[in-house]
Amino acid sequence: MALPVEDERRVGEGSKYFLATVVDFKKRMVIFFDDGSESEVEVAALSEATRDDREAAKAVYGSTLSECKTLLANDPEEIISAAIAKVKAQMGGTLGDDGMISYTQAAGEEMMEGQLFLEALLQNFGAIAKQSPAIDWMRSHWQEVCAEHDMDSSGTISDAEAASIWAQMAMTISEFVAAKLDVLGAPARLYRGDLCLASQTKQPLSALPAGAGGDLGVWVSSLGSDPGPSLATYMSSTQVVFLDGDGKVENAVGIAPASAAAKEKAILRYTMAVAQLKAIARRPSKQLVREAIDKVRAAMGGTLGKDAAISYTQEAGDEAREGQLLCAALMENIGALKTHSRAAAAVAANWQVACAQADEDGSGTITPKEAVAIWDRILLETMRAMTSKLDKLGVYPLPLLLEKGDFCMVRCIPSEASVSDPQRLYLATYVDTTHAIFFDDGTDEVREVSSVGPATEADKDVYVVKYMKALDQCTQLAGYDEQGVVTMAIEDVKKECGGKLGPNGEIDYTESAGDEAKEGKLLVEALLSNLGALWDEAPSLRYMMSHWREVCKELDVDGSGTISEEEAVQIWDKVLSAFRMMVLRKLQLLGVVERMVARINNVVTGPLAA
């Protein structure tokens, strides 16, 4: 602390000491901390700066930095308009013929508008503006400042150029104040959204900040009643969102910047949580739902009411508890992780709403299929909570969620997206964060995608239904008269060829047959058309379509260069067999119960077994 010499003391300050840095103790030469020029001056006396002296300076500069942030957050147009109004008042109510701020000597007296405008802007910062050397330079070199921001070299300052001057001024002062705080040893500054360490208060927060919404309570840590500082997201000097909580804003004390060790510890913890959720997700959803329903049945005395389904409406009376018990039983699968997701916890807290949303037929009861939708929501929301925490910690979570070959939902890149539904999601197998293999693509081609996320049981069920219908279609086709199918295909070929099949009345396919060779291609196309659009997903069928001549030659038993009706039947059997194998493979990939596949397989065997 330094006492200015008598001649330098300001009126009313008497023997007041000021914070300073010593240059030469013997000569009593110092640089006053608040002196922006950083000039070395001789003082009357020196004394050691106490902790309170430094803390007082920290408080002043910390407050100033907060004011700077507030100013920067304000609408710059309002600040500039107020500054221009002050310039107009000093210039007699006008700003010259053009109505803009002039600053060049060519403008005559109007050039003072530039100087007055800078002074008007600086008044927003009060006395602190006089301490910054950079700001002092801007004040004394106002013409150079204006010229630097005069982008069109018009000799005047437009509103956009004035906003640029304001931004430079505000940032310059902010940097100056921040540097002062660094010298004083102030801790790293926290801004809204930064990671920090904080301790929980014992009292619940009475109200949320405007727009946050929801009821608040004290989050109970699984580590005990006093877990010490926890990782959190900084909201204000007294409020945080604890990373181990469910996203609520809470009162906190001891808020400080987060250490690297605390972040790494949290990353490990949430990585383990994601691994735990992945393990849970691998269990069949239907099995988890059956186990939950069994728990509900046991809790209800061994029955689920007359309808043997989960009731949840008030009209069901005491049976309405079944819905609540179901949601609670499903939540048990994620254990303590349920405290991390407000959305997942809302399923249990608002169980009637959750049940109503899953009740597709509006029956007032929940079927096992509808219960799967509730479980999918719980799992997905909990997974989202964990991944958002990892994302906050700077870890890209997708590679932790999915492994190569896992089912996922993807969105096409813009150039390949559907015109009618560009946001549509497709089932695929995961390759990496930007590539996948579409499930419906029989080529197994790795394609670029715009977004990737985990696939739920409900997502896969959509495709299960699709391929089960295809298998039913295959079963029906297998039951048709083969000769009849082939005869209809040959008739289609005849129509395409003008009503006849050449001199021999059979299907030609060799190159030597000239134009009649297309009959073989038309026959294969006609047979494949019986399978609908899904035939394109079978690589073997696509091969048959593109190599129709080889297919015909392979089944041309007598080597005549033509296909008889009997030989066409063999082509049809081959087509249908390949289609059946493709559909069964898709269902097996989707995890359809093996015994169910085996049973259906038996139905469609027989003439196709070979």
Pair (348, 267) in one structural domain = yes
Pair (508, 404) in one structural domain = no
288: in domain: yes
Q: Is the pLDDT reported for residue 515 higher than 70?
A: yes
DSSP for 19-51 reads -EEEEETTTTEEEETT-TT---EEEEEE-PPPH
Pair (88, 180) in one structural domain = yes
531: in domain: yes
Q: Phi and psi for 120 in degrees, rounded to 5?
A: -65, -40
What single-letter amino acid sits at 295? K
pLDDT bracket for residue 138 (50, 70, 90): confident
> What is the predicted pLDDT for the residue at 261?
78
Q: Are 129 and 122 in contact (CB under 8 A)?
A: yes
Pair (144, 170) in one structural domain = yes
More confident residue, 297 or 138: 297
537: in domain: yes
Pair (527, 433) in one structural domain = no
Beta carbons within 8 Å of 139's beta carbon, 6+ residues apart = 118, 119, 122
Pair (169, 279) in one structural domain = no
Residue range 39-48: average pLDDT?
83
Pair (339, 368) in one structural domain = yes
Domain count, the chain: 4
41: in domain: no
275: in domain: yes
Q: Are 400 and 433 in contact (CB under 8 A)?
A: no
From the list 140, 148, 124, the residue with the least C-alpha distance to 37 is 140
pLDDT bracket for residue 306 (50, 70, 90): low
pLDDT in tens, 81-114: 888 888 888 888 777 666 788 888 888 888 888 8
Pair (357, 451) in one structural domain = no
Count of CB atoms situated within 10 Å of the CB of 609: 8
- Domain span at 74: 51-185
Highest mean pLDDT among 48-62, 87-101, 323-337, 488-502: 323-337
Highest mean pLDDT among 20-34, 289-303, 458-472, 576-590: 289-303
Q: Are 523 and 568 in contact (CB under 8 A)?
A: yes
pLDDT in tens, 315-333: 888 888 999 999 999 988 8
pLDDT in tens, 170-214: 777 777 777 777 777 766 667 788 888 888 875 443 443 443 333
More confident residue, 129 or 171: 171
Q: Which pTM does this prediction carry?
A: 0.50
> What is the predicted pLDDT for the residue at 448?
92
- Of 455, 474, 492, the residue that ends a domain is 455
114: in domain: yes
More confident residue, 292 or 444: 292
Pair (579, 487) in one structural domain = yes
> What is the predicted pLDDT for the residue at 326?
92
569: in domain: yes
Query: How many CA atoms within 13 Å lie on the side-chain side of 150?
Result: 17
> What is the predicted pLDDT for the residue at 395?
82
pLDDT in tens, 577-589: 888 888 888 888 8
Pair (72, 148) in one structural domain = yes
Q: Are 552 and 563 in contact (CB under 8 A)?
A: yes
Pair (278, 308) in one structural domain = yes
As given in the structure block, the two tokens for residue 150 are 């005069």
pLDDT in tens, 402-423: 888 888 899 988 888 777 778 8
Pair (99, 161) in one structural domain = yes
pLDDT bracket for residue 220 (50, 70, 90): very low
Is residue 438 within a helix (H) or strand (E), and if so which, with residue range? strand 435-438
The contacts found for 358-361 with CB under 8 angstroms, 24 or more apart, are 359/312
More confident residue, 243 or 305: 243
Residues 4 and 461: their CA atoms lie apart, in Å, by: 82
Residues 313 and 87: their CA atoms lie apart, in Å, by: 70
pLDDT bracket for residue 217 (50, 70, 90): very low
Q: Is the pLDDT reported for residue 529 higher than 80?
A: yes
> What is the predicted pLDDT for the residue at 54?
80
CATH number at residue 406: 2.30.30
Q: What percent of the chain has pLDDT over 90?
A: 5
Q: Is the pLDDT reported for residue 369 higher than 80?
A: yes
Residue range 5-14: average pLDDT?
67
- Of 159, 185, 211, the residue that ends a domain is 185
Which residue in the block uniquely carries the two structure tokens 């801790």?
A: 187
- Of 157, 185, 213, the residue that ends a domain is 185
Is residue 21 within a helix (H) or strand (E), and if so which, with residue range? strand 20-24
Burial per residue of 448-468, b for 16 or more beta-carbon CB atoms within 10 angstroms, e otherwise:
ebeebbbbbbebbbebeebbb
Torsional sign, CA 576, 578, 583, 587: positive
> What is the predicted pLDDT for the residue at 223?
32
> What is the predicted pLDDT for the residue at 146?
87
Task: Give the number of residues written for the chain.
Answer: 610
601: in domain: no
